[in-house]
A and B are shown apart, each in its own frame.
Chain A
């Protein structure tokens, strides 16, 4: 079973040279820490920055420089700043290559639910609705199950849906899953030490296992 940072490390391997990427809040934010040095990629923050850099030193925090999670950040060389309409023009207009988002649920036909909901109140969705409707390749990073043990990979989303048929790949603590065009989670890789039986028992939607499923490289 993978930790959050191991999920992020595995997702980082999906990133290709020259891509512009939007990272959601949570596990996706961690992905930036694991980009190999030889790749040139640019991270967008939908509050108006291309070129998110590492978290600053304590002495360099700037209240005028935060990411979409309202965390203090830095800018890399060659960054640019813009307003919120411009930020979403980049997203809707198909200029962002990849979006990596967290989710509460994903359905077997690629629907996603990631409205922030707590104590019964829908607290909003921020930029996720725009991202899932864009043409960016959409990767989802999440735990395979809710805290109560119920599956987050479902036949149909139970919570309000954010986008339909938009997820390309799902990365959980148990494995990596593609979405088949006819519907179904296609198991692509399993996490080190995780059995197919465990994945079967924790996936509520239609799971497709074909041929030998490779185990991910270990993370040490």
Chain B
């Protein structure tokens, strides 16, 4: 089996350069590639395009990259939790493209699956439809949406093996498996990295073919955005 394991995040992200297009997994702060993001924030890179469901918070997740002004463009479905983002957007330091969440997911899935475009009902009648081809199928209107691919996909799983096979936990799966397939170079970070053969093939969520590099992150913070409890 091919060994794709690396020692740490900085080794894994070493060749990300100015202007790169990145896919970053996670929903809010759940299932984000926190080790890769931290390592990236330590480098001097600029003009990144980041594609992620959200923008992180001010001092965690993509917020760390925003703070260092490393982004030129953000493509997301919702950016409500980040003041630094608002500041830079208001000052025109940053471009924003908002995409319906399901369309974002499917565009990334299409990118990984070799489907250049598809029709979806989401966005008909809204600003999302502006400038896009609309076609009627069986009496309903649909929008043409394009695939999304990226130079690098930074993703996070719970367990992985040296062959790049991945298992996620809970709702931390979200966009990670889709992005794994849509990155030219996919960098997976895991909480537990085991030798190939140690994971049951029946339980693999992301087959190793989609993963080019894998490492075990150190001391995961796994911050919770909104702690809600019942009495």
Contact = CB atoms under 8 A, between A and B. Distances in A.
Contacts of B77: 124-127
Contacts of A58: 229
Contacts of B105: 83-85, 87-88
A12 interface: no
Contact of A123 (B30, B80, B128, B223): B80
A130 B27 contact: no
A72 interface: yes
B195 interface: no
Interface string B147-185: 000000000001000000000111111111110000000
A64 B230 contact: no
Given A84-B178, A85-B178, A164-B125, A91 B78 contact: no
A111 B126 CA distance: 10
Nearest to A125: B100
A78 interface: no
Interface string A123-141: 1111111100110000000
Interface string B192-231: 0000000000000100000000000000001111111110
A73 B224 CA distance: 11
A55 interface: yes
Select the residue from B124, B168, B173, B205 with max chain A CB neighbours within 10 A: B173
Interface stretch (A40-48, A98-106, A145-153, A187-195): A40-48
A92 interface: yes
Nearest to B158: A64
Contacts of B205: 83
A215 interface: no
A160 B33 CA distance: 33
Contacts of A81: 168, 170-171, 173
B101 A121 contact: no
Interface residues of B, number: 55
Given A121-B89, A123-B80, A72 B228 contact: yes
Nearest to B224: A63
B230 A48 contact: no
B123 to A, nearest CB: 6
Contacts of A57: 229-230
A124 B106 contact: no
Most chain A CB inside 10 Å of its own CB: which residue of B121, B127, B158, B177: B121
Given A64-B158, A161-B125, A124 B98 contact: yes
Contacts of B128: 129
B8 interface: no
A90 B19 CA distance: 35
Nearest to A83: B177
A161 B100 CA distance: 13
A34 interface: no
B20 interface: no
B222 A85 contact: no
A17 B31 CA distance: 33
Interface string B68-96: 00000000111110000010011000000
Interface string A69-82: 11111000000011
Nearest to B229: A58
A46 B80 contact: no
Interface of A: 45-49, 54-58, 61-67, 69-73, 81-85, 87-88, 91-92, 111, 116, 118-119, 121-130, 133-134, 160-164
20 contacts: A48-B27, A61-B229, A63-B172, A71-B227, A72-B228, A72-B229, A83-B105, A83-B173, A83-B205, A84-B105, A91-B102, A123-B79, A123-B80, A125-B98, A129-B123, A129-B128, A130-B103, A130-B120, A133-B121, A134-B121
Q: Which 3 A-B pairs have the closest CB atoms?
A: A88-B102, A130-B102, A124-B78
